[in-house]
Chains A and B, each alone.
Chain A
């Protein structure tokens, strides 16, 4: 900036600074008009430095910080305001997560405070069955593992042999006695010779009867 000044009744326009001889020297001292500077407070300069602005000497107050000024407590990292001349780094402790007592399925989510720790765990389970039988549903083995099994069952049934096979499907768990009927008449003498029923070869001889087509007589052999 510059000022219009009067010295010894002489006007001087747009004077930015005044140079005056220094005592006992050939040099000059310079005095500046600083009204054009915009600095207004120490909060605009680093701590310790000084400058002139608007006719005032200003001392800076912005503190200089380094990595040593950073602090961490739990999940909170504190970065004090100030001037960081170089990159500041703060190492924080890595966390250790303990698997919860109960995990259901794969990809269970465990929440801790404002942070979320996601666990993905595949577990292999061998159920412990205390008594012989089948599993319909319920909890087995480790109490933290819930098992649900499904099997096909068949209750008490009586099977009467016939001319076709009767089958129990593979994998069927029989929950009660299955009865396949027998017959005391299934003996060789009750089966026509030449026929076999359930591995019993017939021996009964049945007479052959043939009726003549002319006189209708019967021939029994």
Chain B
């Protein structure tokens, strides 16, 4: 949240702006400086705006965990297989 000056007036703790859109409606602009997420903390496939405003993609991938006596069918690289005998 920012303390800003807009057209000569001061406004404190402003989390976002709402501006009229061309053609009607409003557009929201957020102060994202308090963002703590980084690419390595967000799942792959999701995106967000980093603290500097940059649109960033997550990089955390899923791994599936298998427990079986025989090789599980399917799966992906990084999956875990605990083989029981």
Q: Do A and B bind each other?
A: yes
A53 within 8 A of B: yes
Q: Which of B23, B29, B85 has the most chain A CB within a 10 Å cutoff?
A: B29
Q: Is the CB of A44 within 8 A of B19?
A: no
Q: Which of B36-74 contact A (CB under 8 A)?
A: 36-38, 41-43, 45-50, 53, 55, 58, 60, 65, 67, 69
Q: Which of A28-64 contact B (CB under 8 A)?
A: 29-40, 44-46, 48-53, 55, 57-58, 60, 62
A53 contact from B38, B48, B67, B80, Cβ within 8 A = B48
A6 contact from B19, B30, B37, B58, Cβ within 8 A = B19
Mask of A129-158 contacts with B, CB within 8 angstroms, 1/0: 000000000000000000000000000000
A75 contact from B42, B50, B84, Cβ within 8 A = B84
Chain B residues near A29 (CB-CB < 8 A): 2-4, 14, 31
Give the interface SS of chain A, mostly helix, strand, loop or mixed. strand
Chain A residues near B37 (CB-CB < 8 A): 45-46, 49-51, 60
Q: Is the CB of B46 within 8 A of A5?
A: no
Count B-side interface residues using an 8 Å CB cutoff. Answer: 47
Q: Which of A23, A35, A52, A57 has the most chain B CB within a 10 Å cutoff?
A: A52
Q: Which of B1-46 contact A (CB under 8 A)?
A: 2-6, 10, 12, 14, 16-17, 19-23, 27-38, 41-43, 45-46
B36 contact from A31, A50, A53, A114, Cβ within 8 A = A50
Q: Is the CB of B29 within 8 A of A53?
A: no
Expressed in whole angstroms, the Cα–Cα distance for A76 and B28 within the complex equals 51
A13 within 8 A of B: yes
Q: Is the CB of B27 within 8 A of A50?
A: no
Chain A residues near B60 (CB-CB < 8 A): 46, 62, 83
Expressed in whole angstroms, the Cα–Cα distance for A31 and B6 within the complex equals 13
Residues on B facing A (Cβ under 8 Å): 2-6, 10, 12, 14, 16-17, 19-23, 27-38, 41-43, 45-50, 53, 55, 58, 60, 65, 67, 69, 80, 82, 84-85
9 other A-B residue contacts (CB within 8 Å) besides A5-B21, A7-B20, A34-B30: A7-B19, A22-B2, A32-B29, A37-B49, A44-B58, A45-B41, A45-B43, A50-B36, A79-B80
